[in-house]
A = this chain, B = another copy of it.
């Protein structure tokens, strides 16, 4: 799956690119509107992520230029929350969806998946770690085949851990991915949610699947 990100805020672009790369997407990044259009026409992508406000050429114009040329690649627009983005206009020029900033990584990821799913038919894969099953499409978690009800945040945290199973994930990384990337929060909120996850997923089943790695973060593991 190849993605193109056209976004001038370098820091944001980079962090998105990293996250998506880590999930197996091939990601190209461009910081300027004209370059963006050029790149999009030169290469074949499965999805384009366009910021609306861009130097050189706005996301709108890129979008309508591509559509006029018969390009039907799914397009996801990024926009500030003030009235900058006109939803009607966005959809008119042929965008498929849009996300308003600030957004959390998980939200973006969900939207990306939704768009890709339409094309490729067949939902996103179920993640299995030992006898723990995470179903992104259903927003559902099974332990030992039995459903465990989680809140939205809890699910998002778990999903992130599951995507990096057997790896240590820092609180900071969790904060950045599960909350708005602009969010300046206390790492304690992560601890609170981890605590809740353990109470629901581990303790009742006598497991220890979420391991604390002191000074580093957490690791979701199968054995435990």
| A residues at B contact (CB < 8 Å) | 10-11, 14, 18, 21-22, 31, 67, 70, 72, 87-88, 91-92, 94, 96, 114, 118-119, 121, 123, 137-140, 151-152, 166-168, 173, 184, 213-216, 219
Q: Which of A96, A118, A138 has the most CB of B within 10 A?
A: A138
The reply to whether A166 and B152 form a contact with Cβ atoms under 8 Å apart is: no
Q: Is the CB of B10 within 8 A of A94?
A: yes
Known: A14-B72, A21-B119. 14 other contacts (CB 8 A): A10-B67, A11-B91, A14-B94, A18-B118, A21-B118, A21-B121, A22-B121, A137-B168, A138-B166, A138-B167, A138-B219, A140-B219, A151-B215, A152-B216
CB distance from A160 to the nearest CB of B (A): 14
A11 and B118 contact, Cβ closer than 8 Å, known pairs A151-B214, A216-B139: no
> Given the complex, which residues of B lie within 8 Å of A166, measured CB to CB?
138
A169 CB to nearest B CB, Å: 10
Contacts of A173 on B, CB cut-off 8 Å? Answer: 114
Measured between beta carbons, the chain B residues less than 8 angstroms from A92 are 11
| Chain B residue with the shortest CB-CB distance to A223 | B147
Q: Contacts of A88 on B, CB cut-off 8 Å?
A: 184
Bound Cα distance A21, B121 (Å)? 8
The complex places the Cα of A17 from the Cα of B199 at a distance, in Å, of 45
Chain B residue at minimum C-beta to C-beta distance from A31:
B70
Residues of B within 8 A of A213 (CB): 139, 152
A13 and chain B: residue at smallest CB distance: B72
- The smallest beta-carbon distance between A175 and chain B, in angstroms, is 12
Least CB distance from A125 to B in Å reads 13
